[in-house]
């Protein structure tokens, strides 16, 4: 009888485990992933009973494309940069969504109007607004301090190695702004052969001083180790290193490049209904604003901005630390995701050739 009851209990437990629904979501790791867990993933699981498994990647569509093309889809949702959302949607790699799949705004405006222009697509809308900035370690510059985007490239006045992400995106924009192109003309300039050549010529001036990074965790570590004196980075990673790890880093907001990420559903997922439930939940303005309790990113929804509050670990007001605060937006460049989705292949090919020279 005891064995029978034990076997029955094991059977029931096994059946219950098998019946429990789960989703595999893919994010960017580090402080951002931990913030996402606390603001979205864990509350979603608690509310719905759906387990969320997290995998980490470094961006791009290569793995999504491989899964969809082979029919071996094991990722359900991916947090993509907006240019990849647009491109993946165009290629049929992502499931289409309807406005009803997204949560309502908190201020009464229509859902589709509660996003910045170009951050709502047929396959998803913005989750967070973050920026690529550059930062420096104050211990590397005890006297004169970098203050402008031009200083990123000024190795005479601010000697030392630079950390740059191994990608054309953002580096070309930084190069043109540093070379004097007005922010409003960056993409028009980049869209010409002359402008593209000008951007690469500017990158040439620091090429011998560059240490390339590929993951968001690398720039703070390189700055802390003095491997570089200046590095481009995601603003939230620098905030976390400064506030939580007490590093002596300073963000230079001049020329920051605003970008967004958005949760998208991989085409062919076997958990489509659960994935849509997650997408609705993650699109809620209050969930997006809750992220700013843990990391200095802005909500992707406009109506979420008023909900930005304090950093839970320190109690500091987060409004001055997010990319979209008034003082940080003075010389900000919103990334043109449409431009990148149209030109990424040719520009990345040229960038790879430049790297190899």
Co-location of 232 and 144 in the same domain: yes
Span 287-311, average pLDDT: 95
Q: What CATH number did the domain enclosing 221 receive?
A: 3.40.190.10
Q: Please list the residues that pair with 56 across neighbouring strands.
A: 27
Span 3-11, average pLDDT: 42
Co-location of 337 and 293 in the same domain: no
Range of the domain at 202: 132-258+333-356
Are the C-beta atoms of 163 and 170 separated by less than 8 Å?
no
Residue 5: per-residue pLDDT: 43
Co-location of 164 and 75 in the same domain: no
Weakest mean pLDDT among 8-17, 127-136, 192-201, 220-229: 8-17
Tally of domains within the chain: 2
Residue 2: per-residue pLDDT: 39
Question: What are the structure tokens assigned to 296, written together?
Answer: 């200095």
Co-location of 73 and 156 in the same domain: no
Co-location of 230 and 337 in the same domain: yes
Residue closest to 261 by CA, chosen among 292, 231, 288, 229? 288
Co-location of 71 and 185 in the same domain: no
Co-location of 140 and 62 in the same domain: no
Return d(Cα 87, Cα 174) in angstroms, integer. 23
Which letter does DSSP use for residue 38 in this model? I
Evaluate if residue 67 carries a pLDDT over 80. yes
pLDDT in tens, 329-354: 999 999 999 999 999 999 999 999 99
Co-location of 64 and 156 in the same domain: no
pLDDT in tens, 78-107: 999 999 999 999 999 999 999 889 999 998
Co-location of 21 and 37 in the same domain: yes
Co-location of 137 and 229 in the same domain: yes
Q: How confident is the model at residue 1 (pLDDT cuts 50, 70, 90)?
A: very low
Residue 100: per-residue pLDDT: 87
Q: Strands 333-334 and 249-265, how do they pair?
A: parallel
Co-location of 324 and 339 in the same domain: no
Q: Please list the residues that pair with 193 across neighbouring strands.
A: none
The model carries a pTM of 0.88
Span 21-40, average pLDDT: 95
Co-location of 288 and 238 in the same domain: no
Q: Which stretches does DSSP call E strand in 266-356?
A: 298-299, 333-334
């Amino acid at each position: 009888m005891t064995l029978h009851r034990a076997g029955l209990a094991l059977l029931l437990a096994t059946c219950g485990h098998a019946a429990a629904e789960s989703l595999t979501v893919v994010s960017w790791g580090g402080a951002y992933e931990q913030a996402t867990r606390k603001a979205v993933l864990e509350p979603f699981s608690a509310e719905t009973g759906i387990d969320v498994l997290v995998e980490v990647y470094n961006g791009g569509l290569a793995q999504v494309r491989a899964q969809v093309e082979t029919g071996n889809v094991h990722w359900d949702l991916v947090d993509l940069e907006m240019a990849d959302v647009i491109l993946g949607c165009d290629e049929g790699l992502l499931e289409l969504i309807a406005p009803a799949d997204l949560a309502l705004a908190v201020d009464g405006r229509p859902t589709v109007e509660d996003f910045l222009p170009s951050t709502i697509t047929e396959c998803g809308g913005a989750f967070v607004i973050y920026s690529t900035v550059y930062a420096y370690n104050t211990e590397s510059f005890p006297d004169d301090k970098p203050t402008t985007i031009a200083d990123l490239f000024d190795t005479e006045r601010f000697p030392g190695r630079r950390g740059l992400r191994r990608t054309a995106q953002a580096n070309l924009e930084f190069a043109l702004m540093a070379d004097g192109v007005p922010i409003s003309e960056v993409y028009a300039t980049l869209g010409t052969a002359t402008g593209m050549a000008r951007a690469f010529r500017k990158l040439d001036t620091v090429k011998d001083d560059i240490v390339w990074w590929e993951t968001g965790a690398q720039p703070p570590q390189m700055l802390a180790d003095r491997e570089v004196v200046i590095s481009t980075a995601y603003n939230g990673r620098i905030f976390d290193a400064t506030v939580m790890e007490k590093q002596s880093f300073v963000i230079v907001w001049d020329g920051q490049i605003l970008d967004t990420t958005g949760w998208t559903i991989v085409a062919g997922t076997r958990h489509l209904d659960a994935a849509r439930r997650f997408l609705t939940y993650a699109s809620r303005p209050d969930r997006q604003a809750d992220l700013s309790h843990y990391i200095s990113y802005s909500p992707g929804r406009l109506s979420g901005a008023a909900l930005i509050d304090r950093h839970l670990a320190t109690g500091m007001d987060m409004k001055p630390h997010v990319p979209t605060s008034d003082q940080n937006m003075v010389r900000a460049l919103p990334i043109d995701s449409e431009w990148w989705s149209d030109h990424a292949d040719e520009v990345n090919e040229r960038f790879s050739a430049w790297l190899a020279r």
